[in-house]
Amino acid sequence: MSAAKGLLIDITRCIGCGACSEACKTANELPAEMEDGLTADTWTVVSERGSENFVRDLCRHCIEPSCVSVCPVGALVKRTDGPVLYNKDICLGCRYCMIGCPFRIPKFEWHSATPRIRKCILCAPRLDRGLPPACAEACPTEATVFGDRDTLVAAARARLAATPDRYHPHVYGLTEVGGTSVLFLSPVPFEELDFDTAVASFPLPDLTWRLLMHVPNVVLLGAGFLGASYWLFRRRDEVAAAENEPAEGRHDAEAGGPHV
């Protein structure tokens, strides 16, 4: 089994040159036009946030992705070596993955007659050839580095320990939604850079299973309640019918039949 790979993005080292975005466009044969945010044709962008801080946005490739768990046909899969990939041949176009993603990453090709879900694939074809993702290879300052996730976590912690004044003391993606394959270091609290710091610390698919595990009990209780309700209503109707029966009819029935 391949070791899980990932990216470490050090915001303190990013100069906002956009080389990662251009390399992504080239490697994935995307339209060259650079857009302001993530779209079906732009899978990573660099934007200035806060005071002179440049931040990349891209798929986080969650360890246990909610986009994978909500897809009803398995069009999205998580590879053991990191990437979350998409199979257009079996996609229903339901777009549940767009709703399920806590980072709002997957985008839909609204302009296409045969639309697909589009997002960063961690340059999986390059990984298969033993190459790093194009964005990491193109970064001139090593603001984005590629490697085994465990190694990247250790490197991030080492940077925090070596120069604590340089960083906010947290590795974003270490625990968020159970962990992601894309990790971030920042000089300021992440909420100041518009990161969602309110996301759960457990994998979101766990929440689904926590709810589903109660379904059998709910069904049994519901069936019992409906059965009891049916019996009570039927009994009420029988009692009402008996009370409304003519007195002579009741007398005859009680006597075993009409008297001659």
How confident is the model at residue 52, as a pLDDT? 87
DSSP state of 13: G
Task: Kindly state the tokens that stand for 204.
Answer: 């979101």
Query: What average pLDDT does range 61-82 have in this prediction?
Result: 96
Alpha-carbon distance of 56 to 21, in angstroms, equals 9
Classify domain 5-204 by CATH architecture.
2-Layer Sandwich (3.30)
116-137 pLDDT, tens digit each: 999 999 999 999 999 999 999 9
Contacts of 221 (CB under 8 A, 6+ apart): none
155-206 pLDDT, tens digit each: 999 999 999 999 999 999 999 999 999 999 999 999 999 999 999 988 877 6
Q: In sequence order, what are the beta bridge partners of 48?
A: 54
How confident is the model at residue 50, as a pLDDT? 81
Among 59, 64, 50, 68, smallest CA distance to 14 is for 50
pTM here? 0.79
Q: Residue ranges of the domains in the chain?
A: 5-204, 214-255
Four-residue CA torsion sign, 139, 145, 146, 147: positive
26-46 pLDDT, tens digit each: 999 999 999 999 999 999 999
More confident residue, 234 or 217: 234
Confidence label for 215 from pLDDT (cuts 50, 70 and 90)? very low
